[in-house]
Amino acid sequence: MKHCLLHFVLFLAFLLSGNLAYGQKHDWMLLVEDFQKPDPAAAEIKFRELHFRKPPLVELYFDVVLHNDRAAPRWFLLPSNLGPESTSVGAKGGIDTLEVFAPHGKGRAIIGHFLGTGGFHTLLLPAHAEVRLRMFPISYWGELPDHLEIEVMTAKRLTIGGEDAKTWFRVNPTSSVSADIVENILSQTRMIGARHTRDRKEAPTLIEEDSRLKLQVSLERKESP
């Protein structure tokens, strides 16, 4: 095994020697960097429970773990509503309201619930952070499938109506490097602020995307007591 690894390293060293053109060098350097730094999943999601409301609404709750393996802060955007007609976060619609929540647990997690036809949930994680949310809600409109695709987006920058999303919170929205939140993130008793657009009309969302992750989540067909 050691001999194989040595041969591999010597082979890469040869390819990166002066015999290669600059463009070829650059491509191989990127390959080596990717080989050395694997990118772990940005999110893990597991179904927890559901509550049937007035048809066709079903409230779903999940255990969610978010990882920011980057060396800089990242916004994590998750859907607040899903259904047969759902689109990706930021694909269409706008925002007219933000509700800010600070649920209890170990560490600090600030959740922004942006409302409007383009609504979503978001958290700002610092570099190398891990945040666990044990009662993460997503509304589902329609007949519930056996499996649900949930897309998580990370973004370098997020603006609402041309304004940095951070200013909408009116508090520092950055979560702790490590947090474990044990209660419903949208509990009304944990709301610490809200903001509306001045004319109550929707403002456009601009997302400087970093990555997208589509997770296939199995749903157990049972209502919690």
pLDDT tens column, 174-208: 999 999 999 999 999 999 999 999 999 999 999 99
The verdict on residue 224 lying in a domain is: no
Q: Residues in the chain, how many?
A: 225
| Same domain assignment for residues 192 and 160 | yes
**Would the pLDDT of 14 be above 60?**
no
Give all strands (DSSP E) within 85-196, no chain letters: 97-101, 105-106, 111-115, 120-125, 129-141, 147-160, 163-164, 178-184, 191-196
| Same domain assignment for residues 150 and 204 | yes
Amino acid at 148: L
| Same domain assignment for residues 10 and 72 | no
Taking alpha carbons only, the member of 73, 53, 42 closest to residue 150 is: 42
Our count of domains for the chain comes to 2
| Same domain assignment for residues 19 and 113 | no
Structure tokens at 202: 């929707």
Predicted pLDDT of residue 139: 97
Predicted pLDDT of residue 24: 40
| Same domain assignment for residues 28 and 126 | no
For 12, counting Cβ atoms within 10 Å of its Cβ (0-12 exposed, 13-18 middle, 19+ buried), the class is middle
Scanning the structure block, which residue is given the tokens 């999110």?
A: 43
Its sign, for the CA torsion 11, 15, 17, 18, is positive
pLDDT in tens, 89-129: 989 999 999 999 999 999 999 999 999 999 999 999 999 99
| Same domain assignment for residues 57 and 32 | no
Whole-angstrom distance, CA of residue 169 vs CA of residue 128 = 22
| Same domain assignment for residues 50 and 32 | no
| Same domain assignment for residues 13 and 62 | no
| Same domain assignment for residues 67 and 133 | yes
Q: Is the peptide bond before 56 cis (omega within 30 degrees of 0)?
A: yes
The verdict on residue 206 lying in a domain is: yes
| Same domain assignment for residues 7 and 104 | no
Structure tokens at 224: 């919690």
Whole-angstrom distance, CA of residue 21 vs CA of residue 153 = 36
Beta-bridge mates of residue 211:
154
**Would the pLDDT of 53 be above 50?**
yes
Predicted pLDDT of residue 8: 47
pLDDT in tens, 152-179: 999 999 999 999 999 999 999 999 999 9
Chain CA centroid to CA 148, Å: 16
Backbone φ and ψ of 132, nearest 5°: -110, 130
The verdict on residue 225 lying in a domain is: no
The verdict on residue 76 lying in a domain is: yes
Its sign, for the CA torsion 211, 216, 218, 223, is positive
The verdict on residue 223 lying in a domain is: no
| Same domain assignment for residues 150 and 212 | yes
Mean pLDDT of 61-85: 97
The verdict on residue 205 lying in a domain is: yes
The verdict on residue 27 lying in a domain is: yes
User: Between the CA atoms of 25, 31, 36 and 40, what dihedral angle is there, to the nearest 10 degrees?
Assistant: 150
Q: Name the band, by pLDDT with cuts 50, 70 and 90, for residue 40.
A: low
Q: What is the mean pLDDT of the chain?
A: 85
| Same domain assignment for residues 30 and 65 | no
The verdict on residue 82 lying in a domain is: yes
Containing domain of residue 119, as a range? Answer: 43-218
pTM for this model (two decimals) = 0.80
